[in-house]
Amino acid sequence: MIIVKFSAIQNSCTTDLEENLNKAESLIRKSASNGADVIALQELFSTTYFCREIDQKYFNWAEPIPGPITERFSRLAAELEIVLLLPMFERKAAGVYFNTMVVFEKDGTILGTYRKMHIPDDPGFYEKYYFTPGDKGYKVFDTSAGKIGALICWDQWFPEAARLAALEGAEILVYPTAIGTLPEESDTEKREFMDAWLTIQRSHAIANGCFVAGINRVGVESGTKFWGNSFVAGPFGQILAQAGENEEILSVHLDLSSIEKQRQTWPFFRDRRIDSYKDLLKRFK
């Protein structure tokens, strides 16, 4: 058995960035004290989900990598000896910004970064105004706590992204997220959206025979209510652990050796007809 303890942190954020950073550090410390090997935070962990609106001032929240945020949390990862997944607003150059996940090894080194590939543009989710589409492809990081496929939010709706990460060897697909109910949406719509959100990600676990984790924020920001429900699914799509709608640290032990047994039982990779998929490269047939 290859057991790792995975912890997902879901919390609320304010426009006070230092307060958000301090809260994140406190929750990371708490997770580590409870034995976590790898800790994942929510999308844009250090800010509110500013993409609810279009306002140039929010570009001031972006930071370079390396920069003050990565330096602070690099030291923290090394101190606590944890693998840390840190999603943040990256400034690459003037006018070029990314929605990025930074992956720290337990000695504090940055193993690499993943830049969100799929960028939405919908009411309440105006990300195309802020983020350049990712330019690094689908990344898998070989950490001391397993091979982690780093993906972000809107990526979770695309089976191609999950499959490509799995083909790169991912044992855990991790999706930091900011999803919730807009002011004009009903409770019924919320339930339907949440069910779809869980279903699509559980399907990635089944189709790829690996673990999947979704980490969502909580709290109300300008009328949008983020509904948490962070979860971890097993290689057969079973929900191993799920949070509620309040601030929470969700922790679960993962047996990475179970992946091979699941893929022996349902050998989707063996039976893929790779000779028949060329039309996937077309926008629409």
**Exposure of 77 by Cβ count < 10 A (0-12 exposed, 13-18 middle, 19+ buried)?**
buried
Cα dihedral 202→130→61→182 (10° resolution): -50
Which residue out of 106, 116, 139, 147 is catalytically annotated? Answer: 116
193 backbone dihedrals φ, ψ, rounded to 5°: -65, -45
Q: In what order do the strands lie in the sheet with 83-93?
A: 110-115, 96-104, 83-93, 38-40, 3-10, 248-255
In residues, how long is the chain? 285
Which is catalytic among the residues 13, 51, 153, 210?
A: 153
Task: Determine which one of 5, 13, 23, 43 is catalytic.
Answer: 43
- Is 116 a catalytic site residue? yes
Q: Is 43 one of the catalytic residues?
A: yes
Distance of alpha carbon 279 from the chain centroid: 29
d(CA 150, CA 62): 20
- Helix residue spans in the chain (DSSP H): 17-33, 68-80, 159-167, 187-208, 258-265, 268-271
How far is the C-alpha of 108 from the C-alpha of 175, rounded, in Å?
22
Token pair of 15 as six digits: 């426009």
Q: Which residues are catalytic?
A: 43, 116, 153
